[in-house]
Structure 1
């Protein structure tokens, strides 16, 4: 009697899109209104849409470059083959730096959040955070998929609760700055572009998506779905703020660093700022965690390719150590 082979579950596009969205949508999103206050509604929105399109296409181009390599190949293998050892050495340095500095930021932020919630020292809390959630990355891409779906759903719910009061109060005159018909907006769009660029930085995860789906076409769809989700979050947040707080009132907010607390205080007349602050805090916490596992997955797969570690339990344990312990 022939032995039955247990079929592997087919990865869902929702899961892959959630991984991409979770990498893109971080707590830094909350600073978009301050960075876009000069360009205001139309030009800020155009900057975000343009950046989303360019960053999506660049991810697809990476998939095209990976197409003729092994499914677990990442930047190291492909760059060395196409551009040579010298360019690859520089590429490896920059790719590792970006992944490492992002993980460092998420780890330290999570430690401070856990300290405020539990009273545990932030350094110890950071270690606990890494030990707990890096195991999701160590386990499998599918585990990151499942956690990302949960976190993106939670982010969506908390985001809706946070901005619903603002959305229903949007004033079109404020949204389009009708009090300033001769205002100049386009020159400020250039200042928005670097912030928009970092808001769609998911490229560490491109190779992971390709390996997860086993082909480029589904990975393309997951990337597009994730960047569209991120764009939706950004546009709704921008329109909610710009439709309630006049452009002229952003001066004091920007002068105080543009922090979300200052922004919400300026909107206190329109919303229950304490309730919104609580839901935004919950959103930020989920965003940091989702970004950690998403960026962690991309950096993990990159390090496995760089160091030639296998995909079995022993190999993944070595990759986990070299990715997260530093």
Structure 2
């Protein structure tokens, strides 16, 4: 039973991480070339794994039902809780805007076979379909999401099998670096490794079994790293760095990969995977935002639905090609939630623990509770990396 829960927790973390952000990786990271992009992903995975382990350190002294908001209130008081709330709203809205923009681009391309239709129609239909499902209840969302997730994994495996033999390894050795484009890619890559919102659920599921929790986090986040590396390999290896840099959006990427592999069926498989990735990501984030607003305002479901979907829909209508832009801005909120808040809370916890220990024993000896290795230098490095990601987004905005 515990082994099943461990595997389930690992897959929750992996499933939360692998989403629509993966689609933007080749378009954003190609500016670095494959070797540097792979190194960047490895560093960001290490950063996010480290701050996830910081969350485990915090959960030791908290209620089993604790969320990020209760942890922020416990360690940082009311201001910390407000910061967590605003960051969560910012992140949810930015991600919903990205998924509406990306999904509507796909849907509009498919509706084009019906004739000349307005560009806004895809965004409206896509939002209404997902919105109606969300408002109908979590049970229906769960059933639809399970089916879509299974189909997504099948499509991903098919894509990798079809594209891997076509990889031209010389293209992966290209090291031309476009400096500003590389800076702009950092927030997009960072957002693709966001899984911290699922940590409280995993803690409740496994209990405070630190050994299993640490393995679930490290392995569950390493699986997306492997998937992303393979996806970037087949994208750059089939199209080349220059071609990817010149692609304007998801449709161009899909068409380019299909043409490079000389497999017309592949275009449908990749397009299907893109649709499924966008749908599962949109469903998960929109449900989280809907429940978050419900908990805050206690309004009727249709009113909550309007508050959930109208702001991101407005963004998608104003910026129909704003998929990567919205993911970049989501990185700012994710830095707050996944780096700044955990670092600040652990800093406060360790300071309080040190002062209590000193008062009891006359020295600053640790009490023996679990602490993530690295001490203060590691906390400072994580903080500086978070500042760098925010600076990259603001510099390229």
TM-score where L is the length of structure 1: 0.73
- 1:171 and 2:157 equivalent? no
Contact 1:163–1:240 (Cα < 8 Å) also in 2: yes
- List per-residue Cα deviations over 1:178-204 (Å, max 9, x = no partner): xx7xx4478864433211110011111
Residue 244 of structure 1: CA displacement?
Answer: 2.0
Q: Offset of 1:33 from its aligned partner?
A: 1.4
Residues 88 and 251 (structure 1), Cα distance of their counterparts in 2 relative to 1, 3 Å cut: closer
8 Å Cα contact 1:300/1:323 also seen in 2: no
Q: Is the 8 A contact 1:52 1:200 kept in 2?
A: yes
Instruction: Note if 1:20 corresponds to 2:24.
Output: no
How big is the shift at 1:45?
A: 0.4
C-alpha change, 1:136 and 1:265, in structure 2 (3 Å) is closer
Distance in 2, matches of 1:90 and 1:203, equals 16
Structure 1: state its 5+ residue gaps: 1-7, 138-142, 308-317
Query: Is this contact kept in 2: 1:55–1:200, CA < 8 A?
Result: yes
- Are residues 1:276 and 2:281 paired? no
* 1:254-293 equivalent positions in 2, closer than 5 A: 257=248, 259-272=249-262, 274-292=264-282
The Cα shift of 1:278 comes to 1.4
For each residue in 1:9-68, what CA deviation from the matched residue of structure 2 results, as whole angstroms up to 9, or x when unmatched? Answer: 875233222222222222231221121222101000001111111111111111211221
Q: 1:215 aligns to what SS in structure 2?
A: coil
Please state how far the C-alpha of 1:275 moved relative to its aligned partner.
1.8
2:213 to 206, 215, 219: 219
Deviation of the 1:134 alpha carbon = 2.5
Give the aligned partner of residue 210 of structure 1: 203
1:43 maps to 2:33: no
Q: Shift in Å at residue 238 of structure 1?
A: 0.7
Deviations 1:304-323 (A, max 9, x none): 9x76xxxxxxxxxx799699
Native 8 Å contact 1:39 1:185 kept in 2 = yes
Aligned equivalents of 2:74, 2:53: Cα separation in 1: 19
Contact 1:111 1:124 in 2 (8 A): no
2:129 paired with 1:125? yes
SS at match of 1:191: helix
SS of the equivalent of 1:37 reads helix
Q: Which moved more, 1:56-65 or 1:185-194?
A: 185-194
Indicate if the aligned counterparts of 1:74 and 1:302 stay in contact, CA closer than 8 A.
no
Cα distance in 2, alignment partners of residues 156 and 40 from structure 1: 26
CA gap of 1:291–1:184, structure 2 versus 1, over 3 A, is: closer
Partner of 1:311: none
Distance change in 2, residues 1:300/1:123 (3 Å): closer
C-alpha displacement at 1:171, in angstroms?
A: 1.6
Mark the CA change 1:324 to 1:74 in structure 2 (over 3 Å): closer, same or farther: farther
Write the distance in 2 (CA, Å) between the matches of 1:189 and 1:160: 28
* Aligned twin of 1:5: none
- Name which of 235, 254, 257 aligns with 2:229: 235
Conserved 8 A contact 1:51-1:193: no
Q: CA deviation at 1:211?
A: 1.4
- The count of residues paired between Structure 1 and Structure 2 equals 294
- How far did 1:205 drift? 1.4
| Aligned match of 1:66 | 59
Deviation of residue 273 (structure 1)? 5.2
Question: 1:159 maps to what in 2?
Answer: 156
Distance 1:123-1:31 versus aligned 2 partners, 3 A rule: closer
Residue 262 of structure 1: how far off its partner (Å):
1.2
Distance in 1 (CA, whole Å) between partners of 2:22 and 2:149 is 14
1:277-322 deviations in whole A, cap 9, x for unaligned? 2112222233234334554676688789x76xxxxxxxxxx79969
Contact 2:20 2:278 in 1 (8 A): yes
| Contact 2:28 2:181 (8 Å CA) reproduced | no
Greater share of residues in helix: 2
Q: In structure 2, what is the Cα distance between the partners aligned to 1:233 and 1:323?
A: 39
The SS at the match of 1:270 is helix
| 1:194 aligns to 2:187 (yes or no) | yes
Tell which deviates more after alignment, 157-166 or 264-273.
Answer: 264-273
